Structure 1
Amino acid sequence: MIMPLMWCCYVAQYLDKTLINYAAVMGLYEDANITKADFSNLAWIFYVSYLAFEFPHGYGMQRFPTAKYLGIMVVCWGAIVTVTAACHSYAGLITTRVLLGCFESAVAPSLMLITTMWYKKNEQPPRTGIWYLGTGTGTIIGSLLSYAFQHVNSASLYSWQILFLVVGLLTICIGITVTLIFPDNPMTSRLSHQEKIWAIERLRENQTGIENKHFKSNQVAECFMDPQTWLLSLITISSSVPNGAVSSFQATLIKGFGYDSKQTALLQIPGGACSVVSILIATYLAGKFDQRGLNVVTLLIPGILGGALMAFLPEDNKAGKLIGNYLTNCIGASLPLMYSWVGANYAGHTKKVTMNAILLISFCLGNIIGPLTFRAEDAPEYIPAKITII
């Protein structure tokens, strides 16, 4: 049950934070009376609170059982998504986006820690890739739900409100399940005594430890003084800028190519498929050949090509622009490699928690920059934003 539940958590996390992407073409602008500038703010403000809570969550995971902590956070952000269905104004929407970022920022570091507790170094990239598939599968699920709910007519709720309500309730169910049945570590699992010993013994070669609830300040200092920390941080920031742009504005970009709202929903599915395929290939190769850096560089190439196609092809070349949009989804596959890089190279529980927080803060910075490149005066083509992706 470990991998399926980790995947469910990441699907919920990615789907919930990108629901505004689908809502943008389902009438959110008109129903909540917001402008394009307001929408851009809704996209990046999420990552500000996400960033602000990385270190508090790191401390919380150090002090409390990791799986229980994760489950409670999933329930909390599921409740926020559900409440978003009742929002009718910019003020309400931006409040829920801030709160959503506060709770969702716990999921990636939690899953990174859990992965290192159960799997050997060479097993970590493909296992990280499996739960990180939640990005691509979340896109596919969100697109299908958006298309379906656009056909629902209700006198009391708009279609985008129904989308938030249903997805929020499903997220709460996932959080409750994680809290009740997910083991915090091998020693507290339902394995037999002999199986627990074997689960821990097989990780001896990692030389990174499993779990320690004592906060060690010397490991924090060691993490900050390690040059590798800041190189990984810089790579994560630069590769996250396109992710921030595409995850919140993919529907807006595709609709800008000349498609209607229902077509836009379905045309996002291939982007999710590109993400799934690139993650599977990259994490498999990283695990097989123990080579993460080369894979990260390789994944940036289709992203650069995709940004160029969107920015420089003629306006009437819809197919080429769509292909470019899909190719930018490959960049996101570099992040699970960064996650597993930390799990493999950082020894000591406090040091891993600290580096996880730094990596996620770097991820947030890139995702804050991405939406800010989408300015109202550049609509509907958003050429400067597409050039930024390159």
Structure 2
Amino acid sequence: MSHANQSHLVQDDKDLEINHVEEIPEARVAIDDKYLNHAEDDAARILREYGSVEYTIEEDKKVLRKLDIWVCIPMFIVYTLVHLDKSALSYAAVFDLKKEAHLVGKQYSWLGSIIYLMQLVVQPISAYALVKLPIAWWVVGNVFCWGVSLCCMAACHNFAGLLATRALLGAFEATISPSFIAMTQLFWRRREQTYRNTAWLMSSSVSGIIGPILTYAIGHVKSGIQPWQGIFLFLGCITLAFCPLIFWMMPNDISSAKFLSQKEKVIAVERLRDNNTGTKTSKWKLEQFRETLYDPKTWGWGLMLTCMAIPSSGIGTFGTLITKGFGFNSFDTILFQIPPNVLTLIFLIGGTWTMNKIRLRFPVVAFFVLFPIAGAASLLYVPRTNPHALLGSYYVIMLYTPLQPLVYSWANMNAAGTTKQRTLGAILFIFQCAGNVAGPQVYLEDEAPIYRTGLYTDMSCWALLFTLICSMAVYLKHLNRRQRKRRERLGRVVDIKDMSIMTLEEAAAYKREIAAAGEGSDINAHAFDDLTDFQNPEFQYIL
């Protein structure tokens, strides 16, 4: 940008700290130099090194299939292990862990909370590491350490030992969700991110199916150790056994993906241009960090995660005890955890498909909130003499499970810039951890097996969540109107469609349409300049 052009820079949207050029000799000159200096991310370096390429939709789809196999499958495996290992405490409780370890009062509740408290503490380290370190190597190191921690739980016979090992488990698991959110943003278009986020996050439901079956089998094994010890030892060893496979398959980024040719790496980068979110840079940018803190969306998403986490951790820790309180034995209680996870899978896949079909997120998420509210109300008032009706109510409550992956996906589609994305991911996980710490504490021992305080608290959280979802949709619509006005002031194409949520065929047709009209040569010109959603006037928010 010339000195003459720089003199025309004025402050625009001061509350968002965004600058624009009032007189624009070239369409590309629309972003303040202070954002573009050293802003180039890894994707831009790949394009500079290998140059641009022509490619077909078939080649695009081939790259997508490779990404799904080599990146999404390892993510699915790791997240399945996360939830299996995290749920081990709940399974062990059915086989008299509380009695064997002499747990009294709220000690069992604290075993549920400590894992999330440690995740909360470790989050700042995780956010910084995700910018500075190779993501896949960071993930594998943490997977190995938490596998060792889980194995050590089998040797613990008191509250102190179990608390210490659960704390370590929480510390090493803390980085997994933020890492995988970052990787999803790094490898897939925004339309595809919904499905891929769903793919690895639905492993929580898959683990809810596998876990009870494994636990049921382990409970019948006659050996020199107690069933609850066998659960910890077996699941910990499975985690360790998968580490070499994960290390071999999972790439750190597109440039290190050994399963892609040079041309395919360029295609993998170019197909992300429509996202307008960049890919990755190892530079920590203080202005993006500050913007994340000032962004009202950050705190809206955070409150949503807290409202989901309080019920999730409470029911996750006490769910088996609630079910056992209906009058079923230990083995039936374990097996009864399978059906709600099957239902959750169906709802999650159906919800994801509906979101992409209607190209809106909030109606589906808001609709899903209504199920756990109805289930909790039913569980409180159905007579205790009707165990099957109580079990049905419990299954309806468990339909809260799709909420977390859908909201996480929605939130991360609406943020851009490497530092901002990583900071947002860490903040959301901190909010989630805070809710997870609080969740088990509202389930009072003297209220067993009904736990009225816990269920009333959960209903209140879900009601607040419904309000927050609708409010966020209104705010995002307001931001899109503001972005349109900015493009108009900047002399850019005003009415643009979000190609990142189109199918490949629709996006290709739209590009031909705007090219034929002589427009759009500058659209997405700053896609790889590592700009935030506030800094880039072409970024479009997804409702």
Residue of structure 2 in register with 1:182 after alignment:
250
Q: How does 1:52-67 map to 2 (within 5 A)?
A: 52-67=121-136
In the alignment, which residue of structure 1 is the partner of 2:329?
260
1:11 aligns with 2:80: yes
Q: Is the 8 A contact 1:246 1:328 kept in 2?
A: no
In the other structure, the counterpart of 1:215 is: 284
Greater shift, 38-47 or 376-385, is seen at: 376-385
Distance in 2 (alpha carbons) for counterparts of 1:127 and 1:296: 17
Deviation at 1:160, TM superposition (A): 1.1
Using the alignment, how far apart are the partners of 1:357 and 1:66 within structure 2?
A: 14
1:36 Cα offset (Å): 4.9
Deviation at 1:170, TM superposition (A): 0.9
- 1:27 aligned to 96, 111, 123, which one? 96
Alpha-carbon distance in 2 for matches of 1:337, 1:59: 25
Conserved? CA contact 1:223–1:351, under 8 Å: yes
In structure 2, what is the Cα distance between the partners aligned to 1:267 and 1:221?
47
Q: Give the RMSD, CA atoms, in angstroms.
A: 1.2
Distance in 1 between residues matched to 2:105 and 2:174, nearest whole Å: 25
Q: Could you tell me which residue of structure 1 aligns to residue 213 of structure 2? A: 144
Counterpart of 2:115 in structure 1: which amino acid?
Answer: F
Cα distance in 1 for partners of 2:368, 2:345 equals 13
Per-residue CA deviation, residues 157-199 of structure 1 (Å, 9 max, x unaligned), is 1111111111101111223322233111111102000000000
Q: How does 1:1-390 map to 2 (within 5 A)?
A: 1-155=70-224, 157-190=225-258, 191-390=260-459
Tell me the TM-score normalized by structure 2: 0.70
The more displaced of 44-53 and 175-184 is 175-184
Distance 2:314 2:345 in 1: 19
8 Å contact kept, 1:236–1:359: yes
The structure with the greater share of residues assigned to helix is: 1
Letter in 2 for 1:64: L
Q: Is the 8 A contact 1:71 1:179 kept in 2?
A: yes
Moved beyond 6 Å, runs of 4+: none
**Greater shift in the superposed pair: 236-245 or 194-203:** 236-245
2: distance between equivalents of 1:328 and 1:69? Answer: 35
- Contact in 2 for aligned 1:307/1:386 (Cα 8 Å): yes
Amino acid at match of 1:347: A
In 2: Cα distance, 1:224 partner to 1:330 partner: 32
The residue aligned with 2:7 is none
TM-score, normalising length: structure 1 = 0.97
5+ unaligned residues in a row in structure 1: which ranges? none
Aligned partners of 1:16, 1:131: CA distance in 2, in Å? 16
Deviations 1:14-71 (A, max 9, x none): 1111111000111201211112521111111111001111111111111110111111
Q: Provide the C-alpha distance between the structure 2 equivalents of 1:107 and 1:373, rounded to a whole number of angstroms.
A: 26
* 2:280 aligned counterpart, secondary structure: coil
Q: Deviations over 1:216-264 (max 9, x none)?
A: 1110100011111111111111122111111111111100110000000
**Secondary structure in 1 matching 2:125:** helix
Amino acid at match of 1:183: P
Deviates more, 1:267-276 or 1:247-256: 267-276
Query: Partner letter of residue 304 of structure 2?
Result: I
Q: Is the 8 A contact 1:299 1:330 kept in 2?
A: yes
The AA in structure 2 aligned to 1:169 is C
- Of the structure 1 ranges 9-18 and 269-278, higher mean CA displacement relative to structure 2 is found in 269-278
The worse-fitting range, judged by mean Cα deviation, of 255-264 and 373-382 is 373-382
Distance 2:105 2:336 in 1: 22
Give the Cα–Cα distance (whole angstroms) in 1 for the partners of residues 156 and 417 of structure 2: 44
Name the residue aligned to 2:512. none
Per-residue Cα deviation, 1:132-170 (whole angstroms, up to 9, x for no partner): 111111111111111111111212x11111111111011
Aligned to 2:150, the other structure's residue is in SS state helix
Partners of 1:136 and 1:103 in 2: CA distance: 21
Amino acid at match of 1:112: I
Aligned-residue offset at 1:303: 0.8
Alpha-carbon shift at residue 104 of structure 1 (Å): 0.4
Q: What's the CA shift string for 1:262-287, capped at 9, x where partnerless?
A: 00010010121122122212222223
What is the CA–CA distance in structure 1 between the aligned matches of 2:193 and 2:388, rounded to whole Å? 37
Q: Deviations over 1:321-350 (max 9, x none)?
A: 111211222222111122222331111111
- Counterpart CA distance in 2 for 1:18 and 1:379 is 20
Q: Distance in 2 between matches of 1:288 and 1:200?
A: 25
The residue type equivalent to 2:248 in the other structure is L
